Structure 1
Amino acid sequence: MYRDHLVSLLKRNVKPALGCTEPAAIALAVSRAQEESRGDIRDVRVRLSGNIFKNARGVGIPGTSEYGIEFAVALALACGDWHKGLEVFADVDEDAVSRAHALLDAVPIQVGLCDAEENFFIEAVVSGAQGTGRAVIIGGHTNMVLVERDGKTVEEAAPAVAEDGKKSAVTPILKDMTIQELRQEVEALPLEEIAFLIAGVPMNYRMAQAGLEQMPGLGLGAALRRLMDEGVIEENMVNKVRMYAAAAADARMAGLKMPVMSSAGSGNHGITAILPPYIVCREKDLDEEKLIRALALSHLVTIAIKEFSGPLSPVCGCAIAAGVGAAVSVAWLLGCDDSQLAGVINSMSGTLAGMLCDGAKGGCAFKLATAASEAVLCALLASQNIHIGHGQGIVSIRPETTIQNLGTISTQGMCSVDKTVINVMLADAPRAAAL
Structure 2
Amino acid sequence: MANDLLDYHDALHTLLETHTPLQRHEDVALAALNHRMLAQDVAVQHNVPEFDNSAMDGYAINGNALTQWHVVHRIAAGDAGASLTLQPGQAARIFTGAPVPQGTTAVVMQEKVTHNDAADTNGGPTHIHLQAGETIQDGQHIRRRAEELRAGDVLLTADQRITPATIGLLAGQGYTHACVHAQVRVTVFSSGNELVPPGQPLGPGQIYDSNRIMLIAWLQSLGYAVTDGGNLPDQLAPTREALARAAGESDAIVCSGGVSVGEEDHLKNALTEVGELIQWRLFIKPGKPFTWGRIDRPDHTCRVFMLPGNPVSSLVTFQQLALPAMQRLTGLSAEGARPMQWKAQAAFTRNKPEPRREFVRVTLTPNRGDSPGQWHVRPVAQQGSNMLSGAVHANALAEVPPGMLVQEGDTLTVYPLFNQI
| TM-score, length of structure 2 as denominator length | 0.24
Higher strand proportion, which one?
2
| Higher helix fraction (1 or 2) | 1
Q: TM-score normalised to the size of structure 1? A: 0.23
Q: Which has the higher contact order (CA 8 A, sep 6+)?
A: 1
